[in-house]
Structure 1
Amino acid sequence: MTTTSQRFFISYAGLDRPWAEWVGWHLERADHQVILDVWDWSTGDNFVERMDEALKQADAVVALFSKSYFDAERWTREEWTAAVARRERIIPLALEPLAAADTPHLLAPRLHKNLHGLDETAALAALREAINGGTRPTSPPIFPGKAPAAGPTEAEGRTKPRLPGSTGQPDVWNVRRRNPDFAGRETVIVRLRESLLSGQQAVVQALHGMGGIGKTQIALEYAHRFSGQYDLVWWIDAEQSDQIPVHYTELADRLGIAKPDAGSDPNARAVLHHLRTRQRWLVVLDNAEDPAQIAPWLPEGPGHVLITSRNHNWRGIAHPTGLDVFTRSDSLAYLGTRIPGTTAAQADALAQDLGDLPLALAQAAGVIGSGMTLDRYRQLLTGNTARILQEGDAPGYPAPLAATVGIATTRLDDNHPEATALLRLGAFLGPDPIPIAWLESARPHLSTIPGDPDDLMWPHASLQHLGRYGLARIDHETFQIHRLTQAVLRDQSFSAQTERVRDDVTTILRTIEPGDPESPDSWPAWASLTSHLTARNVLVADLPELRPTLQQAAVFLIRSGQPRPAVDLLTSLRETCTAELGPDHPEVLTCSQYLGHATSDLGDFMSARPIIEDAHARRRRILRDDHPDTLQSANDLAAVLAAMDMHAEARLMDEDTLARRRRLFGDDHPDTLQSAN
């Protein structure tokens, strides 16, 4: 490109890595030096330090502009702002059309060169001009209608990258139409692309997760988005593993290497042999279930294999990537596109109800977009979860969520009934992760779990099956069932079964001992327990055996600075206890004490005062003035009065409480010190 060698740092968003490699390759072919993170930096390097060093060493920064590049959360912001601050040379190359609003104010005045919409010859010329500056032609320009010349041949060393998006679909291609409603998942796709590019031989990547998480949709989007980087892309429905050779035979026929009389297995093995010597291919094995049956049919060679599966256990076969639900921002973007006119608050509430599950969001958009209000949908979702989750057109997904859960549960129950029992037990706990240690401790007392209570491998074996069928997320300490899967399972349970499962849930929650709720060391354990005690579907406030635990949970919430959930918990608990025990019962008065405290912590002193005054008056009447509980209510009431600028009244109460506590407990007791303070 030029006779003067320069050193360039390439700044890009992760999704634009193909462009970065294409630009870097051609700059090096022109005898320039290139600093590109995926070529020059190693795992474990300090990213910030390496970036700072690269910016100092570079003669110029080649910035690949795209909408992703200007995302507020990307490191590219630090790169280009550092270059601007140092007044270094920036060479902007636009990879897609950008409006004025898409470009930050600091970069708006800088001229950029467009690479988008060009064939490779024209893009290479644009890159050359951006690096070297424009020159006047020495011969007549080529007629614009002439067919582009053939691109450069491959050079020795690093394989020349394709111009991203320039070649369309490969000649060998059987992937179905792209989903026009696909949204989000940019980080996942970037990570997937980088993983597939990480090796010289066949890289096998397995996307795994629960049903409805969008595994197939991500694989489909990847195949379309990067189709120009492959010469062959072949999609195989791998749910029936015995049919995989048949699908390979179809590929053999497309490649012209099939032997009609040989049968599917020999033709499939001919394809596998062919792929060992061929570059730039992608094979997608969609909905694979049994790794052992898939392993013999995995291609080898300089290409890529992408597996989607509910099963999480692909160790030794593929690099696994566990998929989670949408981020909330992805959910809001998706709903904003599919349900125009929805406010941010409405979309956020619906996404919360649906647990950000992509399939559920797609179904909801289908129903709301065809004659139902969003508020009505949320109402039905609360009371008729399984029924409403049977509805809604969700293109790209094989079945609605209720059917997906039902099919997987039926298959699980046919083969592993003990795992189904564990699944139903988990459905009646909260949607947050469930510590496996809870199950291990409570196992001898659980009535709904079949088998030997002393089985040393329970619940490990059952959890493995839940993970294989995509009905739960498993790690080494917890498992988690999506809130909508839980709701469908609860709706499908008959009443007698529900009663027994709820008894077991109570047993589990009652046997947990997180420690002192006022000690920060115990707060992680209390946070886990409280998330289940306060879940909408658990309904534990009316269980007398759990009331002491609920009160301690309220103390944890207050001490850890969470007054709002403490108020919600205590309001429900106080109402239930008052109806059953009467307003003067010690449990009711303890609830009132904590409720007044939490309400005061919210800053709502007008509401807190009557709650605390009532508890104080009842305790004085029942327990007398010197009882520790009465003195605590007096302390709390004085604190509220002081917060309401009633300092004289508060001082008198504090002095009286201090005198009583000194006399009863001594000067060094924590309660005395509280009053002295």
Structure 2
Amino acid sequence: MTALPHPGAAGPVWQAVSHSTVGRDLIQIAHVAGNVTITTTDPAHPAKDEQIVEGDIPAPPPGFQLREELLQKVHAQVGPAGAAVISAVTGTPGVGKTLLAACYAWACQAAGWPVVAWITAETPDQITTGLAGLAHRLGLRAADDDAATAAGKATAWLSARSTAGQVGLVVFDNAISVQEISAWCPATGALRVLITSRNRAFHQRYAPIEVDAFTPEQASRFFAERTGLDDPAAAQTLARELGYLPLALAQAAALIARRRLTYPAYQRLLADFPLAEYLPAGRHDAYPTGTAQAILLSVDQAERTLPDAAGLLRALAVLSPAGIPVPVLTGGIDPADPHTPVADLTAAAAVQESLAALADTSLISFTEDGTTVVMHRLTQRVVRERCAHDGDLTAALDQAITLLETFNNRIPTGAQTWAARTAVEILLEQTDVVHAHTAGAIPQRLLTLRVWCGQYLTDLADLTRAIPLLTDTLAD
């Protein structure tokens, strides 16, 4: 294991967190933690001081707003209780639940907490895979451990950390099942656990922190910082129309900045946007109409001005909401491999340039380390519904399957699969999501990919997952 660079001086976001009251409290905890060591089970590698950061923690978005009052609530709840759940006040997506949890994770990193882990928790497989990855980083995973065994070792290790000096943070993001989380949540130790979820049943078991939309002041500050426009009254009018929802504000601010619009000019674009021509009637009732308009207006503008944006956005909308590793989108190209053909390197570079441009529109974002692309679940849903409305959903699924086939071609088989467990987990995650979006007849190419996934799991002696996957695929 290697030490990660300390993020404390990485930029203004870290400074904002560390200069807040919560940041100072966390740094004080880090002083108490002082000389904490991470122990490993390998006697050939003695324990040494380092920080383990595992998982796809979101990166700060453009125009990031530190919501210090909510961060204070998180710190107040998670400290004495040991675990807390972050949820939306009204259940509306796009208010910033995940970003608040990420903000606390950044603060814990800056404070030097020994372990900070980010676990996607939408499905049981995601939880066990995430915890198994943590076990690997901690040096706990044996070569022949399946994911569930490794995840159990990670949970046991976390439960055994019993002093304030060994405090760590685990975030279960977008959790669905209370039972699944409670089954894997360490019951003892100094660990702090944060859960983000829209399932309010979590409130019966964990201390709640409810997140609402931006305040008018936060919305105005966000617009001013993101667009550079000094027109508070017009900013307030637009923010009010968008319901102060952070996701919608981000879409609007990005387009205003890129096209150098005024707030009234953007409102006219929004008012003239024919939403009914893009979404099936009644399908957008579960989320604010203004948000759907803002998302689709940004999508429409991106497709008109950015090369390859249309295909990328469609593919991203049917891949995992937890994130899509960049190698999936670039054909698994390794730029460091001297044998990689120049044409492949050029194609991969073009995809990365397109992704960077899309990130500037706020339609996608990257994780902290820049290795994974994330499209917000609500943005994915709106884009998928537009695809369904236009008859393009099959094409979107086909494009995603093509990307996964190319990625799969680079995964070794047989005994060599052990060295490619991470790639196998990526393929499993992405094919599961694409499979969930298929309706009616399942494409033969997708069935073939799922057979490959079952074969890889068999090669890894993970029969607990291989057998049901292959059984389901046979039924399909």
Larger radius of gyration: 1
TM-score (norm 1): 0.35
Higher relative contact order (CA 8 A, sep 6+): 2
Structure ranking higher in helix proportion? 2
